[in-house]
Amino acid sequence: MTRTKMIIDADTGIDDALAILYGLKSPKIELEGITTVFGNIPVEQATDNTLRILKLAGRENEIPVSQGASGPLVRTLDGFATHVHGGNGIGDVEIPTSSQRRIEEPAADFIVRKAEELKGELVIVAMGRLTNIAHALQKDPGLTAKVKRLYVMGGAINVPGNVTPVSEANIWGDPEAADLVIQSGMPITLVGLDVTMKTMLSQSHLDSLRRLSKPENEAVVDFIYRSMQYYFDFYREANAYRECAPMHDPLTVLVAVEPGVVRTQTMHLSVECGGEHCVGMTVADLRRKPSVGSPVQVCVDVDAQQAIDMLLEVFL
Ligand code: BDR
Ligand code: CA
């Protein structure tokens, strides 16, 4: 089996953590590095969480972690999402610190270098604001032709937003970066709220995961179990969900290696960067002859049951 060479770009919160753990465990993924970005939490905290998660998974000092942007491309930072992910970003669960240090090379340079080295084989999964990818494109506009595909967790096409009536958090948090990336011509698959809000992990999934997981995955599964309680609490408060939460970032990593779990449609997409109510909206030109935005592969439907089964399978 040829493994997908992947960089994960994360604002390491609760669902990012599960996505990274899936990436580490999947036999289909070769993790070339993890880059971090502000978003759910400050970037330094995202880096620290990432290093701790690598240690928890028994992969300390094996995978480079590179720190990226601490704020948006042009606008001023508008806070973090600690109400969603906890004060430390991972549901206030304490896990051991790592002896690994982040590499000195900043995220954008790391992305540019790996894309060059991997000669068209690099897949990037962006699970936070698109600031690091935008910086990388500014450094090397030729990156568009060097990256095999960019999978973006972000956007809301035919469903409501989750930060504003129309905007999803990762796009809303740096709309200029998102628009720059979307208009760049890089091959992009958008994994937005249209599919992630259907992909629900529930308490019963966690209970069976605890019962059935391999002994070597005990620490990781315990962390997933405990951090998800915080996420479930947020979604109960915010959306009146009962003991379940959508798997935004894990689904995005999954789609990169199991594209059959989603149905996609090519749409011309742009990001609204102005206005009072629509900042961060992903605007699809669905007219017969679209003229606004760039063509992007948008996930429009998901086999949620299959997706959750595949995500959990790597821990069993
Ligand atoms: C996205 O926002 C963050 O809170 C999550 O980690 C996910 O990447 C969902 O809108
Ligand atoms: Ca995220």
Predicted local confidence at residue 184, as pLDDT: 98
Predicted local confidence at residue 76, as pLDDT: 96
Predicted local confidence at residue 252, as pLDDT: 99
Q: Which residues contact 86 (CB under 8 A, 6 or more apart)?
A: 14, 92, 93, 227, 230
Instruction: List b or e across 172-190, with b for residues whose CB sees 16 or more CB atoms inside 10 angstroms.
Output: bbbbbbbbbbbebebebbb
Q: Which atom of ligand 1 is nearest to the CA of 85?
A: 4
Predicted local confidence at residue 82, as pLDDT: 95
The token pair at 199 is 């992909």
Instruction: List b or e across 252-273, with b for residues whose CB sees 16 or more CB atoms inside 10 angstroms.
Output: bbbbbbbeebbebeebbbbbbb
* Multiple choice CATH, 4-313, 3.40.1350.10, 3.30.1540.10, 3.90.245.10, 1.20.1250.20: 3.90.245.10
Pocket test for ligand 1, best of 45, 90, 249 (most atoms within 8 A of CB): 249
Predicted local confidence at residue 1, as pLDDT: 82
Angle between helix 14-25 and helix 43-56 axes, rounded to 10 deg: 40
Is the C-beta atom of 81 inside 6 A of ligand 1? Answer: yes
The mean pLDDT of the chain is 98
Name the strand (E) or helix (H) holding 201: strand 200-202
Whether 109 is a known active-site residue: answer no
User: Ligand 1 mean position to 236 CA, how many Å?
Assistant: 16
N-to-C CA span, the chain: 20
Closest by CA position to 112, among listed 35, 23, 171, 43: 35
Q: Which atom of ligand 1 is nearest to the CA of 193?
A: 10
Q: Which atom of ligand 1 is nearest to the CA of 252?
A: 8
Whether 248 is a known active-site residue: answer yes
Q: Indicate the length of the chain as a whole number.
A: 316
Predicted local confidence at residue 104, as pLDDT: 98
Regions of the chain short of the pLDDT cut 70? none
Predicted local confidence at residue 310, as pLDDT: 98
Among 85, 135, 205, 248, the one annotated catalytic: 248
The pTM score is: 0.98
Nearest ligand by distance to the CA of 80: 1
Nearest ligand by distance to the CA of 191: 1
Q: How crowded is residue 25: how many other Cβ atoms within 10 Å of its Cβ?
A: 16
Q: Which residues contact 182 (CB under 8 A, 6 or more apart)?
A: 188, 269, 270, 271, 293, 294, 296
The token pair at 48 is 């620290």
User: Ligand 2 mean position to 9 CA, how many Å?
Assistant: 9
